[in-house]
Amino acid sequence: MSTSRPIRVTFLTFYYEAWDALAGVYELMRADARFDVRVVAISRRLTGEAGFDDAAGVSAFFDRLGIEHQVNADLAGLFDGAAPDYIFVNYPWQRNYAPQYRPDALAAVARIAYVPYFSLPLVQEPVDGVNPSSGFEPIAAHLYTQRMHQVASLVFTQDEFTRDAFALTQRGNTHVHFVGSTKLDQLVADYAAATEVAGVAGGGAAGADAAGADAPSKTLLWAPHHSYSSHWLNFGNFVQIHEDMLHWASEHPDWRVILRPHPFLFGTLIDRKVMPAGELESWLNWWNSLPNTSIDVASSSAQVFAQASHILTDGISYLAEWPLATGRSPIFLEHAGHWEFSPLGEVAAATAHKISMIGELDAAIALMGLGFDRVIELAELHAAALPNPGRTAHRIVEVVAADFEAGSDLVDVAAITEIPWELQSNREPLE
């Protein structure tokens, strides 16, 4: 379908913490005469929160980046009265979207293009989606069977295994493209820029030796995950070790400790009654009172990585992202009974120094100080996770251009009869 007008593309997001999944595509399209690009910041309700916010946080984020945007705009008339041709999203969980921006509403306006908000699928899912004792499936069902996946015109995956899983669905996988990870490409590039500004050498697996030599001294990044139960991932250790970490920080005044909580952590702890609100508030007051501790929820992952010499994480994404960006091994505080790693997750976990309690942290740091980064494992992860480093966003742009030229139709949402993952039994309700 040849046309003289630019392709109208909207980047729609509330999950600005993962804007790096879309940033490279946005920058390329913004500089490409084939595209007319608009950005829309929308309200969100994260897990554990009672209602939707006013989008002030995501709007402020775009302001800091100097990205022109609209807030909670009417998409149907966004382009001087015309609708977009494509709406890019980086987040599939529809319960966190206001109703007017949920998948069916978006698909009625334009072609949805979904780029995953996370870097890599590192964990397997229980076969029945609920009970880990039933065994695990190789590709988690929520990675390809949510409503956003079902009604997207274009889906971009970071690995061939997820692309192949889409073939099992009603629509198949002709609309699914294995392109690599925009998030990881952006992370590696941003980390290199952040370390250059900070005067830190290296970055990425190829620069591991330099990065290890010149990284900031004695700064520990502590990144706890929000999962806490065998019903969902079960990686988080915050409740078990938060007092131990407070003690460790107080006993190591020569160390700077940056707490980087998962965005859902504190809200989920209270909402799910894992910790009393008063206990968490008291702990946070103690943490913030120490001279060598801080909490960073504003910096990008690359920026906070560039401030640290070591990372302690019990979570998932940073277990792969830290070694890919920095070329250094993470310290993995492994929670007994966590859900099984995917094959790619096993590769990522192999790069780490594993500990089971904070009492083992000093020994792990000492071992790394002797140069015991897992060099072979780091190289294997780099090869598996970055098959086409630095080119993922370019590939996405060309797929969109080709799809528009071919004149693809909007998805007929009424024809999709499969029950989406989030509406199956034992899932969280939309409201």
Q: Do residues 282 and 161 share a domain? A: no
DSSP-derived 3-state class of residue 325: helix
176 φ/ψ angles, rounded to the nearest 5 degrees: -105, 130
Q: Do residues 209 and 332 share a domain? A: yes
Q: Do residues 263 and 392 share a domain? A: no
Q: Do residues 335 and 400 share a domain? A: no
Which residue type, as a one-letter code, is found at position 208? Answer: A
Q: Do residues 115 and 223 share a domain? A: no
CATH of the domain at 52: 3.40.50.2000
Q: Do residues 213 and 251 share a domain? A: yes
115-136: b or e for each residue (b if 16 or more CB lie within 10 Å)? bbbbbbbbbbbbeebbebeeee
Asked if residue 18 is part of any domain, the answer here is: yes
Q: Tell me how far apart the alpha carbons of residues 28 and 5 are, in angstroms, rounded to a whole number.
A: 18
Q: Do residues 20 and 84 share a domain? A: yes
Q: Do residues 103 and 149 share a domain? A: yes
CATH of the domain at 214: 3.40.50
Radius of gyration of the chain (CA): 22
Provide the domain count of the chain: 2
Asked if residue 40 is part of any domain, the answer here is: yes
Of 237, 218, 371, whose CA–CA distance to 316 is shortest? 237
Q: Do residues 130 and 73 share a domain? A: yes
Q: Tell me how far apart the alpha carbons of residues 315 and 333 are, in angstroms, rounded to a whole number.
A: 8
DSSP-derived 3-state class of residue 247: helix
Q: Do residues 174 and 254 share a domain? A: no
Q: Is 68 exposed, middle or buried (0-12, 13-18, 19+ CB in 10 A)?
A: exposed
Q: What is the pLDDT of residues 33-80, one digit of tens each?
A: 999 999 999 999 987 788 999 999 999 999 999 999 999 999 999 999
431 residues of the chain, pLDDT tens digit each: 445 899 999 999 999 989 989 999 999 999 999 999 999 999 999 877 889 999 999 999 999 999 999 999 999 999 999 999 999 999 999 999 999 999 999 999 999 999 999 889 999 877 765 567 777 877 888 899 999 999 999 999 998 889 999 999 999 999 999 998 998 998 999 999 999 887 654 445 433 333 443 557 899 999 999 998 887 889 999 999 999 999 999 999 999 999 999 988 999 899 888 999 999 999 999 999 999 999 999 998 999 999 999 999 998 999 999 999 999 999 999 999 899 998 889 999 999 999 999 999 999 999 988 777 789 999 999 988 888 889 999 999 999 999 999 999 999 999 999 999 999 987 877 77
At which residue do the structure tokens 């790096």 appear? 20
Asked if residue 321 is part of any domain, the answer here is: yes
Q: Which domain holds residue 271?
A: 191-385
The gap from C-alpha 327 to its chain's centroid, in whole angstroms, comes to 19
Asked if residue 430 is part of any domain, the answer here is: no
Q: Tell me how far apart the alpha carbons of residues 123 and 208 are, in angstroms, rounded to a whole number.
A: 26
Q: Do residues 52 and 165 share a domain? A: yes
Q: What is the pLDDT of residues 390-428, one digit of tens each?
A: 999 999 999 999 999 999 999 999 999 999 999 998 787
Q: Do residues 310 and 398 share a domain? A: no
